[in-house]
Structure 1
Amino acid sequence: MEALFWGCLTGGVLFAIVSVLLGDVLSGALDGALDFLSLDVLNPMVIAAAVTVFGGSGIMLTTYTEFSLLFVIMLSLLISAAVSVVVYFGYVRPMENSENSTGFSVQELAGRIGEVMIPLPAIGYGEVMVRVGASNTLHIASSFDQRPVPAGVRVVVIDVVDGVLRVSELEEVKGEV
C-alpha cells in the first residue's frame, strides 16, 4: 500500500511540474478533448491536489503512526477531500470569478466623456479619445451639432451610428466663488 501512496505523491508532484512548465502547450493540444469533464469540482488542479495530498498523508500516517491500514486509507481520503475543498473554494473558484475582459462594445460608449484628438469639421470625421476601463481608446467621430470642434476640447458621446461616435462639445458649468 505504501507503493500506492508514493505513486500518488510522485504523480501529483510530476503533474504540478508538467502543468506549470507545459500547461499552455497541453491545453492547446487537448483543445476541447476533456470538455466532458465539465463539472467545476473536476478541475485538474483540484484532482491533482487530492491525489498528491492522499499520497503524502498516507505516507506520513503510515510512517509516523501505528494506525491500521484501513484507518490510514480512510483518514488520507478525508484529508485529501478537505484539502480539495479548500483548494476549490480558496483558489480555483475565486480565480474563475476574477477573469476580466477588456472587450467592450462601441455602443457602450454613448454618454462617455472624451477628448478630441484630431479636429472634427462641421461635416466630416475626426478622432476622439475615450477612456474605457483602465485604458484609452481612439475612435472615429463626427460632430453631432454639425459645428467644428477643435483638438483638445472635451466632448460627450451622444450616439454611435455605424461605429462612428457622434459627439457634442461638453459644456462645463463654472461654479460661483
Structure 2
Amino acid sequence: METLYLGCLALGVIFAVVSVIVGDLISSALHGIFDVVSFHFISPAVLAGGITVFGGAGILLTRYSSLENGPILALSLLSAAFMAVVMYLGVVKPMDKSEMSSGFSMSELPGRIGEVTVPVPAQGYGEIMVKFGASNSLHTAASFDHLLLPAGIKVVVVEVKEGVAVVSEFEKRKGEDA
C-alpha cells in the first residue's frame, strides 16, 4: 500500500511542478476534458490536490501510526476528500467568480447611462464616460436631439453610428421646458 501512496504523492507533486512551468499548455490541453462529468467541482487542480493529499496522508499514517491498512486507507480517502472540498471552496470557486473582463462591444452601448466628460455640441462631437462592470470607458459622442450637452450631465446612449455614441440627455435640467 505504501507504494500506492508514494505513487499518488509523486504524481501530485509532479503535476504541480509541471503545471507551474507549463500551466497554460496543460490548461488548454485539458480544457473541456471534465465536461463529460456533470459535477462542476471536479477540476484538474482539485483532482490533483486530492490525489496528492491521499498519497501524503497515506504515507504519514503508514509510517507514524499503528493503524492497519484498512483504517489508513479510509482516513487517507477522508483527508483527500476534505482537502479537495476545501480547495474547491477556498480557491477554485472564488477564482471562477473573480474572472472579469473589461472588454465590451459597441453593440452593448445603446440604453446605457453615461456622463458627459467633454461637452457635446449641438453639431459635432464630445465625449462621454460609460461604466462597464468595474471599469469606465470613454466614447466619442454626438447629440441625438442636436442640443448642447454640457460636461457633468447624465446622458443615455440612443444608438451607435459609425463608432460614435449618439446620446440624449437622461433627465431634463431644471429651468427647461419639457
Q: TM class, shorter-chain normalised?
A: 0.7 to 0.9
**Match of 1:155, as an amino acid?**
I
CA distance in 2 between partners of 1:33 and 1:74 (Å): 28
For the aligned residues, what is the CA RMSD?
2.6
CA distance 1:60–1:88, shift in 2 (3 Å)? same
In the other structure, the counterpart of 1:69 is 69
In the other structure, the counterpart of 1:91 is 91
Is the contact between residue 154 and residue 169 of structure 1 (CA under 8 Å) also seen in structure 2? no
CA distance in 2 between partners of 1:77 and 1:34 (Å): 21
Q: Which runs of 5+ in 1 are unaligned?
A: none
**CA-CA distance at 1:123 after TM superposition:** 2.7
Give the alignment of 1:35-114 within 5 angstroms.
Answer: 35-104=35-104, 105-110=108-113, 112-114=114-116
SS at match of 2:142: strand
CA distance in 1 between partners of 2:57 and 2:130 (Å): 55
Matched, 1:115 2:113: no
Is the contact between residue 115 and residue 130 of structure 1 (CA under 8 Å) also seen in structure 2? no
Identical counterparts, % of pairs: 44
The alignment covers a number of residue pairs equal to 168
SS at match of 1:162: strand
**Match of 1:107, as an amino acid?**
P
After TM superposition, the score normalised by the length of structure 2 is 0.78
Q: Which runs of 5+ in 2 are unaligned?
A: none
